[in-house]
């Protein structure tokens, strides 16, 4: 491994993990799997599945944890989704979908055992407080086979970074819609259920940049507590390679 700024490694690892798990979450095959599991609306399967580790709670509570989704839409989809299999059942379905997606599209990728091993050390070193969705997923049993386990570990790491990011956002003064507009723009805002018109938040760009920096700083602290030497860069490189494998193997 070459000498690389640890903060750059952490940021690159986070970006690769986020995108890899998004490939799973947003793929038509995943939506079709939710429909096959009994969720007439696959978005209800997604909300109930991802939020199911929070237990038997209200849609308003789930919306608060999801943070950057339009809350009324989340609450309605939660109620629709948990009516099918309950909260725990929805989480189990979604977790098994993630495992199967990894088996299908990550098999043969380099370093999957190492992604899991390093990622599990990060997960174990992360705090419990203020990170409810991450803590819920951390408690789920991991698959034994490397492709499934690697994607599940990446899933949990994504929830860790997302929770830290949402905490930073809540302290920033930006609204979720302003954060969307400063991140990926109106198409992304619409995907998260927000209706137009959109406040662009242009005057708060510096605050958004600081949210990203604060998230990466906290992740870097967790990396430093869990990993040694060049292991952060190793995880970054392997995560990027896994993302490349997914993008090459997953049908468009």
Map 168-179 to HEC letters.
HHHHHCCCHHHH
pLDDT confidence of residue 14: 96
- pLDDT tens, residue by residue, 51-87: 999 999 999 999 999 999 999 999 999 999 999 999 9
Count of CB atoms situated within 10 Å of the CB of 130 = 12
Non-local CB neighbours of 145 within 8 Å, separated by 6+ positions? 103
What is the reported pLDDT for 3?
63
Inter-residue contact 53 to 139 (CB < 8 Å): yes
Residue 1, pLDDT score = 42
- The pTM assigned to this predicted structure is 0.95
Return averaged pLDDT per consecutive 10 residues of the chain, 252 residues in all: 74 96 97 98 98 98 96 98 98 98 95 98 96 98 98 98 96 93 91 90 92 95 93 96 96 82
Closest CA to 148 of 126, 115, 118: 115
| pLDDT score of 200 | 85
């Amino acid at each position: 491994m070459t000498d690389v700024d640890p903060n750059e490694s952490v940021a690159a690892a986070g970006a690769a993990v986020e995108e890899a798990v998004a490939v799973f979450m947003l793929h038509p095959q995943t939506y079709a799997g939710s429909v096959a599991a009994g969720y007439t609306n696959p978005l209800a399967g997604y909300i109930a599945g991802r939020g199911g580790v929070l237990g038997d709670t209200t849609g308003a509570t789930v919306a608060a944890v999801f943070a950057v989704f339009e809350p009324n839409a989340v609450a309605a989809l939660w109620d629709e989704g948990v009516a099918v299999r309950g909260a725990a059942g929805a989480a189990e379905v979604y977790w098994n979908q993630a495992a199967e997606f990894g088996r299908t599209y990550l098999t043969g990728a380099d370093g999957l055992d190492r992604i899991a091993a390093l990622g599990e050390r990060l997960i174990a070193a992360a705090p419990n407080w203020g990170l409810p969705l991450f803590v819920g997923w951390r408690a789920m049993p991991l698959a034994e086979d490397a492709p499934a386990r690697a994607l599940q570990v990446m899933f949990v790491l994504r929830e860790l970074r997302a929770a830290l990011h949402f905490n930073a956002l809540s302290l920033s003064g930006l609204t979720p819609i302003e954060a969307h507009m400063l991140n990926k723009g109106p198409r992304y805002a619409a995907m998260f259920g927000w209706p137009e018109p959109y406040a662009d938040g242009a005057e708060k760009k510096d605050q958004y940049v600081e949210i990203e920096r604060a998230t990466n700083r906290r992740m870097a602290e967790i990396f430093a507590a869990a990993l040694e030497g060049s292991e952060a860069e190793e995880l970054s490189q392997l995560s990027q390679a896994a993302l490349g494998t997914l993008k090459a193997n997953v049908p468009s």
